Amino acid sequence: MITEKYFSMIDSAYILLVDDHPALLAGLRNVLSENCGTTVLEGFDTRSMFQQLANHHVDLLILDLGLPGNSGLAALKEVRKRYPSIPVLIFTMYPETQFAVRAFRAGASGFLNKQAPESELKRAIETILNGKKYISDAAAQELAGSYHPDQITHNTLTDREFEIFLMLARGDSISKTAERLSLSVKTISTHRSNILNKM
C-alpha cells in the first residue's frame, strides 16, 4: 500500500515529461498532479525538452526513447552531458529485454516499460528522487544477463547502428531516417545491412 510518506519526495518535485503522444502526457500529468505540490512540465521532442531544461529547475526527467527527429538514447546522452545532475527515468514502450542495458550504460537512472502499473511508476519516481537507481525486475534480469553480451544481440551494434535500428523499428523509412540524421540513403542502407547481419 502507498502511504503519505511514500509521496513526500514527489510532492515537492519539478518533473519534466517528454513524450510525443499528447494523450500519454495528459495521463501522466493527471497521475502526478494527484500530489498537490508536484510541478509538471512537458515536452514533445528533444528541442522542447532542452528549452524546458534551460528555462526551469527540473528534479527529474521522464523520457521516452521513441521521439521524433532523434532517438531518445541520443537525447539521453546529450542530457547527461549538459545536465549531469538531473536524473532520467526512461519510460517507453520498448521492452527491457532489448533496451534497458543500453539505456543504463548511457546514463539513465531508471528504466520502465509503459505497460507497468501506476504504482510502479510512482515507486520508480520516488526511488530516483531519493538518489537511487530504479530497476524493474525485467530490467534487472537483463542487466544480469549483460555480463554475457553474446547472448544479447543488439549489444553488438554501434551507437549509430542502434540509433538507426530504433528509427527503423518504429516504422521510419530509410529515406526519412537518412533525412533526420543528415546522412545519405546509401549510408542508412549500409547500416541497415550491418544491423541485419549482427542481429
Q: What pLDDT is stored for residue 50 in this prediction? A: 95
CATH code 1.20.950 for 157-198: no
Q: Where in the chain is CATH 3.40.50.2300?
A: 5-145
CA angle in degrees (0–180, nearest 5) for 173-177-180: 140
Q: What pLDDT is stored for residue 48 in this prediction? A: 92
DSSP codes joined into one string, 61-110: EEE-S--TTS-HHHHHHHHHHH-TTS-EEEEESS-HHHHHHHHHHTT-SE
**What count of other Cβ atoms lies within 10 Å of the Cβ of residue 77?**
15
Matching residue, cell 503519505: 4
Q: Where in the chain is CATH 1.10.10?
A: 157-198
Q: What pLDDT is stored for residue 9 in this prediction? A: 60
Burial class, 27, CB count within 10 angstroms (exposed 0-12 / middle 13-18 / buried 19+): middle
Q: What pLDDT is stored for residue 2 in this prediction? A: 37
Q: What pLDDT is stored for residue 191 in this prediction? A: 82
Q: What pLDDT is stored for residue 136 in this prediction? A: 78
| Beta strand pairing call for 88-92 and 60-63 | parallel
Q: What pLDDT is stored for residue 178 in this prediction? A: 87
Per-residue pLDDT of the chain (199 residues; tens, 9 = 90+): 333 444 456 667 899 999 888 888 888 888 887 765 688 899 988 899 999 999 999 999 999 988 776 677 888 999 999 999 999 999 988 877 778 878 888 899 999 988 888 888 988 998 999 999 898 776 666 656 655 555 556 667 788 888 888 777 777 788 888 888 888 888 888 888 777 777 5
CATH code 3.40.50.2300 for 5-145: yes
pTM score: 0.71
Q: What pLDDT is stored for residue 11 in this prediction? A: 66
